[in-house]
Amino acid sequence: MKMRMMRYAILFGLFVLIGCRGNAPAQTKSPARETLAPTSAPIATNPPIATSAPRATNTPTPAPATAVSTPTRAPTTTVARPTPNVSTQVLLPYLIVQAKHPLAVCNDGSTPVFFYRRGSGDGANKWVVWFKGGYNCSDEATCKARPRDLTGSGFWLRQNLNSGLDDDSRADGILSNNRANNPDFYNWNHVFLVYCSSDNWTGTRSAAPETFGMHFRGHDIVSAMMDALQDPDIVGAPTLAQATQILFAGSSAGGVGLRANIDRLAKQFNRADVRAVADSGIATSVEPTRDAQMVTMLQAEYNLWRPAFDESCVAANQAQPWVCGGGTFLLRNNHLSTPLFNRMDQLDPVVLDILNLQIRDPQDRPLIEKFATDVREALKNQPGAYSPFSGKHIVLTNEDFYKYKINGLSMADVLGNWYFNRAGLKNVIEPPRTR
């Protein structure tokens, strides 16, 4: 109890400090570009502590299977760590060590935060590390319009300082510790990386007049968070450095950032079996005008963030390195060497909105159908994939991860088949249907 109270006292002091750094008036939210802001539903305080029940060990094979089938539809101060080998019911907040990573700051200069819950049983040395999404910005208007929960850590500490995250508050799906809903990963170490850099986790630029006074340091934040997860004084032992299996995951902008960072992370943690799962973040070609707009946007992002994209992609595209910011380009040109499972909805509403396509507009229907066809084509030969025809943007950390089914199979089912090389289907693509 004393250790827990000390931890809360330290975090409260940091919360006050960060809160004082972010007292600017609230910005207007951009409805077209901001669809992933977290809810503000209250969370129960004083989380209970419980040890998760062990399960049968699932050891993945060195390489994923390639079977493909398309079914029909039927802070700056070290935080006191939790008790080793004890799994709480919630993910608790931690701050990186700012003194060690001075460049790793959110858009507003605040200290990045992540949430963590220790694994148990045969999951003690296995990790799921999830990159949160929340779109991005590429000019002064869109950057200044981003809400505070996407540009700093103050919101997350105010909302979750003592209560943490659980199945009812943004950490369901693959981050759930409910064995019935998440049987393959429920007792693994769970990490929720909060996105606060607006640069798809790739930027290397500090605040300047040309950046409207905002930092774009996503690349450095990733490095700092990986360092914190290897520090026993922060997360206890065993740490990520002792992991035997690591599944890096990301949704939306987090999925784009995952693809940009995954090969360097696999090299960093080369003693572990490292794999990845990306949820959304694929945009295909639809027609010249919209394609040109997408190119302009990618170029603007590159110029503003000075991003650190996948090294092999940049080396192969030195004349136009901005192309490496597109998830589809990385996928189609085989730049990524880390085993990757892709989930992409054929009617992803956020990506369609970026392409200025509206599902309910009859004039847009031919282009939307082309987009859906291209998504199916991009994924049909992937070793692991799940592609619904449902119009849902992301599912990794919500109940659709295990509830939405294609021919009786959820994404949780298919991801598990791929990861553990089970006999079941590893690539499931839902056929189009009339909406």
What pLDDT sits at residue 432? 93
Interval 215-232: pLDDT, tens = 999 999 999 999 999 999
**73 has pLDDT over 60:** no
**78 has pLDDT over 60:** no
The Cα 248–Cα 227 span in angstroms is 15
The Cα 274–Cα 416 span in angstroms is 15
Q: Is residue 31 part of a domain?
A: no
The Cα 106–Cα 150 span in angstroms is 9
What pLDDT sits at residue 264? 98
Ramachandran area for residue 135 (φ above 0: left; ψ -120 to 50: alpha; else beta): left
Pairing of strands 113-117, 126-131: unpaired
Task: Record the tokens describing residue 39, joined without a space.
Answer: 């809810």
Q: Is residue 246 part of a domain?
A: yes
Rounded to the nearest integer, the mean pLDDT of the chain is 82
Q: Number of structural domains, the chain?
A: 1
The number of angstroms, rounded, from the C-alpha of 325 to the middle of its chain's C-alpha atoms is 16
Residues whose CB falls within 8 Å of the CB of residue 71, separated by 6 or more in sequence, listed in order: 406, 407, 409, 425, 428, 429, 430
CA distances (Å), origin 171, targets 196, 218, 353, 409: 17, 21, 26, 22
The Cα 333–Cα 398 span in angstroms is 31
Task: Record the tokens describing residue 117, joined without a space.
Answer: 């819950």
Question: Would you say the C-alpha torsion 155, 24, 354, 307 has a positive or negative sign?
Answer: negative
Place of tokens 């929340």: 134
- Which CATH number fits the domain that encloses residue 233? 3.40.50
Closest among 211, 201, 218, 212 to 303, alpha carbons compared: 211
Pairing of strands 92-95, 113-117: antiparallel
Q: Is residue 364 part of a domain?
A: yes
Q: Is residue 36 part of a domain?
A: no
Q: Is residue 434 part of a domain?
A: no
CA distances (Å), origin 204, targets 153, 201, 376: 19, 9, 34
Q: Is residue 179 part of a domain?
A: yes
The number of angstroms, rounded, from the C-alpha of 25 to the middle of its chain's C-alpha atoms is 28
Q: What is the mean pLDDT of residues 33-40?
A: 30
DSSP 324: G
Q: Is residue 37 part of a domain?
A: no
Enter the pTM of the model. Answer: 0.80
Q: What is the mean pLDDT of residues 429-434?
A: 90
What pLDDT sits at residue 279? 96
Interval 272-313: pLDDT, tens = 999 999 999 887 777 777 788 888 999 999 999 999 999 999
Q: Return the beta strands (E) in 133-207 as ranges.
A: 189-193
pLDDT band for position 327 (cuts 50, 70, 90): confident
Interval 88-113: pLDDT, tens = 589 999 999 999 999 999 999 999 99
Pure H helices in 380-410: 400-403
The Cα 244–Cα 274 span in angstroms is 9
Interval 337-354: pLDDT, tens = 999 999 999 999 999 998
Q: Is residue 28 part of a domain?
A: no
What pLDDT sits at residue 169? 65
Its domain, for residue 123, covers 2-23+47-429
